[in-house]
Each structure stands twice: as structure tokens, then as C-alpha cells.
Structure 1
């Protein structure tokens, strides 16, 4: 799942991290959701299949893990420094069992060196909180993630999966197309830019007949292009409706450029005021310049339609496994391999000014990447698709520290 990040405002609500763990909405809630990213049903959880060997003997959570001779591990863009479990802020406060299903999902495509541990984890019959905590502390070694210059603080942003109404055929309201990859998509590198796809006859001809669906607002399409995938509530020609996923199928190899940054440079608002509501308000006030704004970003994303038989399952991340709201992150693969458990220490996104933001300290899995996710201590936090996910994701731009949990040698 390839995505960028965008900044939007958020209303103050209950703890965001607790909402992610416990939100649940019936399917009928779809009727009450806005086009640009409301949602339904928190993700169900899957486990690895097969008959792996039984886990080894467990220790009590208070028992210290075995002594280790762990050494510093060098990655292309980071350095992992071994630490004790007491170095992880809030380690004793997270409900680690809530991260276990995401770990098992990563075990469907285990990172190198994880095969034996994944088999062992999948064999645990009742992974309750005590069992999970004990297993993690006995089997894994924590490492502080830092840049090669020793800097251990970075940045975390957020992303989500939008839910947008669409039509299979265009009408007076739904006129903005989403496209499948053109037949000649692999023959041009880079492919036509956004402006060329909208103006050049040859480029437009390549898109003809490749329409997947139509949305009502060009900003709805922009959200999908930024996030890289989304859910479509599609109305078919016979009036029936289907919930499908518009999955990322490629982009035109042009660089991403933020329309929000362009509006700041245009004097529409200050950098501190930049938000998704501010962008939409500017678009409503300047309908004649919306196309100009969109063409600032030359990158164009193509989609493929995927069935969504279970709306409680998240989109596939770059690791190739479904993402779990609140427990999946996108990382720089040159810093952290896919399938790695990561402890994050940050704060929840809150409207400014807030005297004391709530801490967000929890176990997550590195399961995705993104074009803007580059650096040693850099992550994008997946907020899911439930109501409020768009707002939290767009608001998130927090300081971050990270620790990876890696198998003991």
C-alpha cells in the first residue's frame, strides 16, 4: 500500500488509542458516513495456519529475560542498540495481546530469521495477556533504533483507508473517474503526468475504457491518490450497491508534490493553519482554481478493484499481509524490515494548543511503507477506516522514538 500523508484538523475526542482498540460499527452505519473516509467494523483477526511445534516453557512476566550477549546491529539507514526491557517507556501498560493478531499476520510472510519463532507463536493455544508478554520477553531482545549519527528521535505521521461513494456510470453528480492502469502502462517510464493525462489527446486515449468507477468530488479522488487505496460504496447501473476496495495498482513514476504546501506558498493560509478542512474550504471558495491546484501534484495513481467479502479485513500493506488498525505501521525498509515488532513512544494527535497530549506507547508491526516514509526513526501509523480515522491520521505529526524487538541469538 503506497501512500503519502496529509495534515487535517481533528475534533477533541476520547483517547484515540483506546478508540482504535475497541471501535465497532454495524454495516448499516455506512448510510451515515461521509464520502471522504468514514467507515465500518474494526478488523477481525487471523492466525497462521499449519501445525508448528509447541512453545517452550513459559516464565512469569516478572521474571527477567535470560542474559543476552546482543550486539549493535547495523542497518543501511539505522543502527539498533541493545537495551533492557525497562528502557521501553510504558512497556508494562500496553495490552500486548491486542497486537498478537498483527504479529501472526506478519508470520504469514515471516522476516528472515523469524520462521521458527513464527511457528512457535502460531502454536500457542490461548495467547492471553500473560502468555503474550512472557513469550515476547523470553524470545525477543529489544533494540533502540537510532540514526547512524546517534539521533534517536524522529517523526510519526498517520494514514487511513477512505470510504467513498461511487457510481459505475457517470451522471450529473458523479463525474470524476478513477482509472485502472492503461494498456500501455508498462511501456512508458515515466508515464504521462497528471496534466498530460487530462489534456493530451494521446494520453486521454490511453485512459478511454479504463474507468473503474466515478466519484463526485475531485478531492475525493485526491484522497484516494494520496492514501493509495480505499473502499468504494459503488452503485451499479441496476441500482444495487456493493462495497469493494480500490487497491493500488501503480503510479506514473512522477514525484509526489503536496497541494497543501502549494496553497501555503500561494498565501491561502499559513503552514500552521494547513489542514484538510482548510484545503476543502479553499476549494469551495475557489472552484475555478481546483484543477490548477490538483495539477500541482504530477503523480497519478491507478487502481484495481478487489472484492471485499469481509469488510472487517484491512488493506494489504507492502509486506503483503492485511493491515491492523492501531497495530500496523509503515516504515523505511532500509531501517526496519517488514514483519518486525516495534515499540513506539509518541503522543496522540490533538488540536493545538493542548497542555498535555496523551502518550501513545504500544506494540505495533512494521508491515507497510510509503513514499514519504524515509529515515531511521520514521513511521506512518495506520488508523484504519472507522469513523474518525481520517481526522486522526491527518492530524498526526508527532515526535517519535522506536525500539525493535528481534529474535534472541
Structure 2
């Protein structure tokens, strides 16, 4: 499918060129206890004005406990011809143990929707390591998205899934019947696109091999970032800047083993005058990262929530040109574009704070983050915990 064909999948309001801010939200139970998406839906409804119906979506981790070792592949077909070609491709590279349409229902305001299916797969490839197997899956997903017409794989991972489309969050949640699912990590997005046309594949979250990204902002360095990633085998096919953030997360944190802190040093590095004032060891580290990964420096305002099965990461650009607030309560970690949405669903947070620009806040299985009172803006009405993130580059 070509970009010129996307009008059939655009929002009926036809207001494709508008400027404002998207809404992002995430919640994680670090004990892996699964819960419904009720509080996520409520938080997104509270931020209704941040979107305009041109895209929304959710990522859920822990929703397929009956098949935890299979890769769950979600695919949208924009014509009847897409599905047979896709299934022929999949069966030549994977053992397909289950395939079915993703349950949906008619929803007011949703029109022109593609056909959506899910496949539970195991590679027909005797990999020696997990990394080698994952690289095989990534290669085939990217190949599917570039070689088969009218077919887009928009979610791929174990015991996780992305559900997205053109509409408001409450419409997308209703369309995909998300009240029927439970997960221990939920992320959500409401879109207000600026420089790309609205279509189902371009909604957030973006996903590749367990990693998902929701993003508010505009990555003005998209062209340079895309060129860098394409030299390493990634192929950008979804017509929006956020795709490069998802692929950068896959490259740096999955393939090359970077910590979230080191990842942030690449995509949201300090300014050179800050680097010059660091001690010799840190100065050398930052200089080396800028030399090796300069093509992944993400210019422009952004706030992102990045997740996989084991962690959820909140990060803004280095001067915080997009809002982001985080909070904890018991075993739960919350991230939101607006503090009001957090206080709606968790009125008595143990801690609530605004992270420093360019510094990731990371929750992991078994470990909640804590605010650093020396650098983070700790909100009123919550008890600030001492400490902070301790990731090492």
C-alpha cells in the first residue's frame, strides 16, 4: 500500500493537519499481577482534549498466559488479497499453532477499519540463542511489512499485544473489546498528528519484538535517524517519526544490551557544554556515544513511554519540551502526560514527581523507581521517597 492510498483509512473529520499534543499513559504492576484496563481507560478519558480522533491505541503485557512462549503477531489487512499472501509467508518461516481474527465489534465513529488477525507462532529456525531467534523474527516481520501488499504486522511479542487504530481511545478500546483483557503492564496513546496522515498502522503504540513505544512530540531528526537505522537492516514503513524510536530501542537495548540510562544518553544526550564539565571518565563515555551513535540523537520535543515484558521506561527530551509525570503506589508505577490523570486513578500516591529532562525513570519487575529530591520536582500531597534510578551506562 502506498501513502497516497491512505485516505480510505483516515479519520472522517478530515482535519489531518493540526497542531497540539498527544496524550500518553502507562501503568505497571511490578509484582506481575494482572489487572483490567479500567484505570487506563479513565485516565485517557481525562485527557480527551489532547487528542482529536486521528489515532489511539493500547499495549498490554500478560494478556496471553495460555501461550506465553509463542510470538503473538497482530496483522491488519487493508484488502482481501493481503491475508492469503501473508499466511503463505508465515507458514514458510514459522509453525503457526493458532490463527484467528482479533475479536472486535461495531463501534460508533469507527469506519474504514482493516481486517485484523492474530497468529501464534514459533520460528522454523533452530536458533542457538534467544538473541539469534529474536533477530530472525524481527527480520521476517520487517520483510512482511515491505514485501506483501495490503498487509501490516503492527504487533509482535511474547505474551503481549498492541491494539490500535483511527479513533479516540474510548472508541478503540470498545472496538477491540479491551475490557475482556488483563495485563500487568498497560500503555496507551491518544493521537494529535502534526506531520503525518492518520491511518490505522500509524497509530501508537509502535511495536517490534516485545518492545512498544508511545510518544508525544515531534522527532525533527527523523530523516537522519531513519538513515542510520536502515544501514543496520531496519526498514521504516509506517509513515511516522515515532517508528524510529521503537527501532532505536530494539537496536540499543535488545540487540546491543544498553541499559535504559545508556539508551537515554544516546537519544537524549546532554549538551556539549555539559559534557565538557563532566569528569574525565563521563566525558569520554558521552563523547564516544556521540561519535558512534550520533545518527540516533533524537532532536525535537518528545516524551515517550517504552515497555517490554520486564520494564517500563519514561523519558523526555533533554530540555523537557513535552510534559511527563510519574508516580508510585504500593506495587504500581504510573506515567502520564498530565498529573491530573494520575491523581484521578490513584488519589493517594506514595510518591509523585516530574522527572528531569533526558533522565529515564525505570520500573522493573520487583523494583519500583524512586524520585531524586535533588533533581526531580516532587509533587505535593505525596510522600517523596529517597534515592533514584541507578542504571549504569
**TM-score, normalisation: structure 2:** 0.26
Larger Rg computed on CA atoms: 1
Greater RCO (CA < 8 Å, at least 6 residues apart): 1
